[in-house]
Each structure stands twice: as structure tokens, then as C-alpha cells.
Amino acid sequence: MAHVEPISDLDGRVLGRAPGLVVTRGRLPDQLFDLLALILGILFSLRQMDVSMRQKESFPAVAEADFTRWRDQTRRTYRLGAVACFGKILFDIVFAYLLNHGLPVPFPVKVTLGLSVVVLWMASVGIAVWRTQKNHALARELGIEARRPSSSNG
């Protein structure tokens, strides 16, 4: 049986024991952002494929130019979200690899790059979500999506 070294934090407290398992402290928010980016990237990609598969023939009441405009605009929106999410994950992997293999980067530069990527990712996803809402409104207006039932306050 192989000897398993205890995994400890900087204070020497054991966090866990497992062969090949690396338990670190202080990386949870970044890991959560990467998990969220992965899930959102998959969702954006699935929606982009769904929109790409829609054909004009399924919506005879919609003009060809309007349908094409909606489809192209919607695909670009979902592509923005997917590229932002998968780009963030790819950057994180490459940057971590370079740092772990001796790239001498001062701490302030690491923090600035890391925060810049997270802020850019959040802004891109926010823009994609906002544009998605506009695209859904256009689709309802054109008759591509069913209109939402109006709620009465009376």
C-alpha cells in the first residue's frame, strides 16, 4: 500500500488525506467562477445550436429578411456568451500552467490580470444576457416565439 502524505494548510492543520489529491485554501471563488463559466458556456452553446437549426419554413408568417436578421443577431449573442465563458476557462488554465512552470510574474500583475479577466467575463455575460432578452422580444414581435400571456393587475 502506498504511503499517503497528509494535506495541510499553511498553519499546519490537516485538511484531508488522499493519494494524488491536492486540497488548497483560498481558491474557492475562482473555482466557483470557472464552474459557473462552464455551465453558462454550455447553455449559451446549446441555445446557439438551437437557433442555428431553426429554419425559415417553420415560420411562414415571418418575412425572410426579418427571420434572417433575428437568427443572425441571436446566434451572435449566444456566441458572445459562449466565447466569453470558454475563453475565461482557457485563460485560467493557460495562466495557471505558466505560473506553475516558472513564469516570473509579480503579484500585483497576477491580481490585475485575474481581476481583469473576471470583470471582462462578467461584463460579456451581462451584455449577452441583456441582448438575449432583446432578441426574445424581437422573436415575440415577429411571431417566432409565442407571446407571453399578459397579467392583469385588477
The model's pTM: 0.75
**Model confidence at 25, in pLDDT bands (50, 70, 90)?**
low
b/e sequence 34-65, b meaning 16+ C-beta within 10 Å = beebeebbeebbebbeebeebeeeebeebeee
The answer to whether 85 touches 46, Cβ cutoff 8 Å, is no
Give tens-digit pLDDT for 43-93.
999 999 999 999 999 999 999 999 999 999 999 999 999 999 999 999 999
Q: What is the DSSP letter of 68?
A: H
- Distance CA(30)–CA(114), nearest Å, equals 9
| Residue indicated by cell numbers 471582462 | 120
